Structure 1
């Protein structure tokens, strides 16, 4: 493995160490404690054959290295770390704290998490601990101290891995300890009970507080809970887990100069942590992602999450810490990947900025809850099609190693917010059928189908250098963050804003005077009333397309109608508008357009904004460009062909996976090609 280089130049808002590599790494999660030591040598030999160069160990090692309270046994972990190092394989060393051993629960049952209905969750799975528990924190940090002291300067260690998927199962706890921590968080945020009452609107339903000790977490109620209270509890819970990460990382950094991270879960089914807020506290952003076959378009969701992870990383390269060679074990139907699919999905992440492709896990478990989760070495062993695909992937990553360290920059930004997600999907909204991430993914799918590269950014992020910004379903937005979008358009940019945006402020308080609240002047429209549609209902539009889910009684103030409803509850009113605002143009979409119409709209806006689609990109063909600004702007074009037929792209350069010069790039059905342009 090429050793990582620690950049000790501090960046504003970033921790002082940064990960970098001069190759695209192939890695895996290894759990040697599940196997007889006789297997370890075979495993390491196979890792070398596949080209594995980064291995995560001790992720679930607590009971192995601390079998009894305060008694530590590192003999097995020592042997594994030394064996990997002797074979030139770097270690991503876990702190081991993600799942406590049974002795901790037996001695301290108070660390167990409590649900909103007051019931306790018991040991037997993983992550059965309260994020606010001082007992858990004390025991976890004692373990981290021992691990970091022992391996802090071990030459095998290339990266520190704090805990694992923090908040995957225990993002929220409603126990009394958590309640006290929540009150401390609120007091720091608001200062006074009166300020809390104003923020939460407690005059409604006689909820006004007179003292901090009256405030509780939003436990299960007989009616709808206070939405602002729920929103703040989500903020608190994300901050509480971030606090735990930071506590572990601080211990590690006392003993080691190696970069520290933890694995995020930027996926459609995980919304509990605000990773934009977490990112400044990790030395490199790492993500776990698995294809979700419960979704209508799993491949588009994968691409969106990879682009979002790059956005969370501030545009810098990141690491794919986990994904799967084939099926997972936790969906209703665990669909196996088809031949070539592992290569396509892996390189889709690399195209969008990942400099490492790692898997859970190395060898498929023989027992336990994840025994039917795929791995690099399947139950059937190495005389398998899956293992041969692993070898192919390793060879492909070596062939494209020169892209490591390069970045992706597009002309289109999509604004995405965890806070808006939390608030928009609360109870008692105009339509339970309208889910926040569905609308964000629909907008992303339209941009992708139009061949447009997308950077995902949080509200308030600088928009300098972008030509076009898409703002889907940004229900909650702060005034300052809305002003950034307003200035972008006034300065000559083009924006597309989706329905149910700008409606409330950061306290989930409706902006009065007509929707879309924060964006009324920008868009030149006023919405008097929402008219959500029943399940399955559609409305016709005067451009011949249809829409679903949502309509609004809208009138224009300074905007011009572009598309109108021809039927439904608001027949004759605008469905799409365009407004000249300063030197730029703002579009508003007041309904959920069908995919073809949404694609045509974003393509139209992109053309007027001067955004050129990526060559060859479109439905079924993903094209992403990585650029190395430090090397004269050298660039690489990734073309991922999901179609059942070959495609040709009119670009010339050196194709890396086949090591050949091409004047026109031909990509076979289901294949991936990586072209060094020029």
Structure 2
């Protein structure tokens, strides 16, 4: 199959979304000229162009797109051509109201924004695929087109009757019989037993807490039905253009779809990342998304969207300084990106995103902002030798979407226990310990890792449990967070409250869960947050930290650690660093200051100072610094928010 390497061809791709239909055609040549001057190699075209391409049912207005592609090709700009199926035109909803999504309370979501489509709708699929097929036939072999971008940020969910029919079919395939469904959903509770498939529906508004197993299966179904839409477009495109790779874009910690399932069906894995310039820990969130996307890709990946400046959807949308823009871009390359694309090329003058930044701002090309964009384009050429290189990690973090969905349902012990802050807390501790990590599915092969970290895996399949326990028994180091291994795939509590196989390798058994509403002191002057447990310790299990009353909260049984709370960031960083050292894992560079990250990608070492003060980084050997073309040895001094890319001499 084609891959990202077929598109990069030894270059770091640079560019972004281009929406020329928002501008008079006489502006297009100026755009191409400015793109060339900025070092842009690639633009994504057509993401939201359905109404321009098919203004009325069955019409095809392709001439403008052909003129645009011809112009871009003449200017040396390559195209990632998008299928515009993320945002249908108003006529589709008017003529085919069943294509409009319906919420759990029965509200129809209308046109006038974007994403107003039901993934289960046969009418939506017929019209979407007809347009995609004609686009592929018309432009799939155009010289400018190098890749397909399908839809955009998959996520619509629908509870309509057509979705109910597909949900029932999905459940029948999964469980085969009503008896098996009733057993899996625990319908003996609250008299919910189904005697006929006709009563099985999506979880809709109900008087009280809905059936958790039903909700969980609907979340699985909703992800799968979106994947059906993706693969239907992908298969059609592959028939017409087997030489072009196919992608769609995820987002960091995006809850709506199981990204592990999607990534397996893509040729290129892509990420949209929008760290908040006002967040002093934004680099942690960025690196989590980058590491996860690299892991899903199994190698180099594509940054499909990022912001050149401010966004328009936060309460206060802070400007992004030029040095922050550069640092975020280099961080993505360090962690495996071979393509850096932004939303968008030219700032929109109308519509919901007219205050969203762009590579070419409203104030034009003669601005500090655009000069920084040009400088970045030049610098990427200096480090092109990194293209295709992998980031090798000896630490893996377990992450699972069904467990996330199940953990955060109603009727739980604490509505403060959400996976996103837990995941960010653990990833931040690894970042502070200067440890680069891959992300893995709970059932993935763990044999190449020395240490596996499980921030939380509330729902764990039998295969996942066997995988983790087998890793420990083979000599691996496991560090597990609280409330892990509690439920099986159907969200049914394991006998004893926690899977006994995990309890055996961890050397602990939780006797009672004790959620916290405020931090509590630990015996070492640290604090614990969110959660605590009464633990029974097996013989030989060592207590590493306790509550003030002596209750164990951090334990070790051989190479298996268990944390029954979320400790302070400083404590978690120290613990993970110590466990890593014991497992034989070392940072890419020793002695790194705070706020500095070092990531080794292939032969190159990226060192990035995210702090507001200069940083002194000791180098164990002489290197050539590629961005400034100079030899460095001894202490490398990095100004605030600056970076170095080093090759050993």
TM norm structure 1: 0.93
* Superposed counterparts of 1:275-674, under 5 Å: 275-292=259-276, 297-314=281-298, 316-515=299-498, 517-534=500-517, 537-567=518-548, 571-580=549-558, 585-615=559-589, 616-617=591-592, 619-627=594-602, 635-651=603-619, 652-664=622-634, 665-674=636-645
1:272 to 240, 243, 256: 256
Contact 1:263 1:288 in 2 (8 A): no
Q: CA deviation at 1:559?
A: 4.5
Aligned to 1:211: 196
CA distance in 1, matches of 2:270, 2:444: 21
Any stretches of 5+ residues in structure 1 without a counterpart? 8-15, 628-634
CA distance in 2, matches of 1:21, 1:512: 54
Give per-residue Cα distances to partners, 1:303-346, cap 9 Å, x unaligned. Answer: 101101111112x1000011100111111111211230000111
1:72 to 56, 60, 74: 60
Q: CA deviation at 1:540?
A: 1.9
CA distance in 2, matches of 1:602, 1:587: 10
Counterpart secondary structure, 1:281: coil
- Over 3 Å counting, the alpha-carbon distance change for 1:46 and 1:56 in structure 2 is same
Give per-residue Cα distances to partners, 1:458-485, cap 9 Å, x unaligned. Answer: 1111112211111111111111112111
Deviation larger for 489-498 or 253-262: 253-262
Aligned to 1:142: 130
Contact 1:414 1:457 in 2 (8 A): yes
Counterpart secondary structure, 2:251: coil
CA distance in 1, matches of 2:250, 2:322: 26
RMSD: 1.7
Contact 2:246 2:267 in 1 (8 A): yes
Q: CA deviation at 1:260?
A: 3.6
CA distance in 2, matches of 1:524, 1:418: 27
Contact 1:185 1:236 in 2 (8 A): yes
Counterpart secondary structure, 1:265: strand
Counterpart secondary structure, 1:340: helix
State how many pairs are aligned.
Answer: 645
Aligned to 1:13: none
Counterpart secondary structure, 1:389: helix
1:89 aligns with 2:64: no
Q: CA deviation at 1:399?
A: 0.8
Any stretches of 5+ residues in structure 2 without a counterpart? none
1:117 aligns with 2:105: yes
TM norm structure 2: 0.97
CA distance in 1, matches of 2:287, 2:2: 29
CA distance in 2, matches of 1:123, 1:93: 24
Counterpart secondary structure, 1:507: coil
Q: CA deviation at 1:533?
A: 1.2
Contact 1:56 1:91 in 2 (8 A): yes
Contact 1:448 1:618 in 2 (8 A): no
Contact 1:639 1:673 in 2 (8 A): yes
Give per-residue Cα distances to partners, 1:407-444, cap 9 Å, x unaligned. Answer: 11111111111111111111111111111121111111
Contact 1:641 1:667 in 2 (8 A): yes
CA distance in 2, matches of 1:669, 1:355: 25
